[in-house]
Amino acid sequence: GNNVIGTEGDIWRRHRRVTAPSFSEKNNVLVHESSLRIAKEMMCAWEAQNTALDDSDFTVNVSKDMMQFALSVISSAAFGKDLPWEEDEVELMGNHKMSFKMALETVVSSLPLYVVLPSGFFNLPIRTLEKARVARKEFGEYLDEIINEGTSNLTDSGKHNLLQALVRASSTDDDESGSLSKDEMKGNAFIFIVAGHETTASSLTYTLALLACHPEIQEKLHNECVRVLEGRNEPEYSDFGKLRPRLARKIFTFYHRRKRPKVKCDLLKMNYGKNALFQNPK
């Protein structure tokens, strides 16, 4: 379906009005809680694998695990579906042929195939293409179920995932904001995955690699966490604001504003070509 990325003009403005409220503070809290839970599962899996090897050399595929970590967080925050880190045999519900986790992972890994190959190719008796075809169908059906559940429980404020929020925002009676069809909601939900999955995983992978290369930075990070947590074992969402905003300040140095010849400022005079940084006093 159409989405906020692939539209323009009035159609884009309609998508923008409906999707913007979905990114709320409540959802940020959900992302934080999901990240903690999934990180614990990941580390428990690492410990179990290390124990099983009986003190032999244990190697973690950081890139692979960070991809799974990011996908699990997005699944929980966007769709309200918790993905087990290690999925054993699961009982499929209804007429499904794949679990939600398998369908989601296959759809994401098959993106290049969906983009390059004509739809008819997926009917060929090739295992990879057959799996990609089934996964796309299964994932669409799972999204239909989530949307239908959200539509029938619009007053349930306890669910804060992105898709449920999108359903509630799209069900408004405000004629000016408009609403989204089911296909458009599914299209935007898919964009949520594409936009945040691989980029987040890559950032985490390089972060861990750089920390491994610079133990002195590890020590600084550890001391910062100890200072903020104040003896607690787990961080809370509110702790994020207590961290020194080094990353934000560094980003400002990369994406600063450059004064243009026609820009006027009554409080400050600057020559053309000078860089300017702005910090919100709040």
Contact 18, 177 (CB under 8 A): yes
pLDDT of residue 256: 63
Q: Is residue 220 part of a domain?
A: no
Q: Is residue 127 part of a domain?
A: yes
Q: Is residue 124 part of a domain?
A: yes
Q: Is residue 84 part of a domain?
A: yes
pLDDT of residue 52: 79
pLDDT, one tens digit for every residue, the chain (282 residues): 688 888 888 888 888 887 877 777 888 888 899 999 999 999 999 988 888 777 667 788 999 999 999 999 988 888 888 888 877 666 677 788 998 888 988 998 898 999 899 999 999 999 999 999 999 999 999 988 888 887 777 666 555 677 777 787 777 645 555 678 888 888 888 887 877 788 899 999 999 999 999 999 999 999 999 999 998 989 999 888 888 777 677 777 766 665 555 556 666 666 666 676 666 665
Q: Is residue 87 part of a domain?
A: yes
For residue 92, the 8-state DSSP code is P
Q: Is residue 113 part of a domain?
A: yes
Q: Is residue 64 part of a domain?
A: yes
Residue span of the structural domain in which 93 resides? 9-213
Mapping DSSP to helix (H, G, I), strand (E, B) and coil, where does residue 130 land? helix
The tokens describing 49, both together, are 């694998």
Q: Which helix (H) or strand (E) holds 258?
A: strand 257-258
pLDDT of residue 11: 85
What is the CATH number for 75? 1.10.630.10
Residue 228, CB half-sphere, CA atoms under 13 Å: how many?
18
pLDDT of residue 9: 85
The tokens describing 269, both together, are 């005079």
The total of structural domains in the chain comes to 1
Distance of CA 59 to the CA centre of its chain: 26
Rounded distance between C-alpha atoms, residue 123 and residue 133, angstroms: 8
Distance of CA 262 to the CA centre of its chain: 39
Q: Is residue 208 part of a domain?
A: yes
pLDDT of residue 212: 93
pLDDT of residue 219: 94
The structure tokens 């759809």 sit at: 107
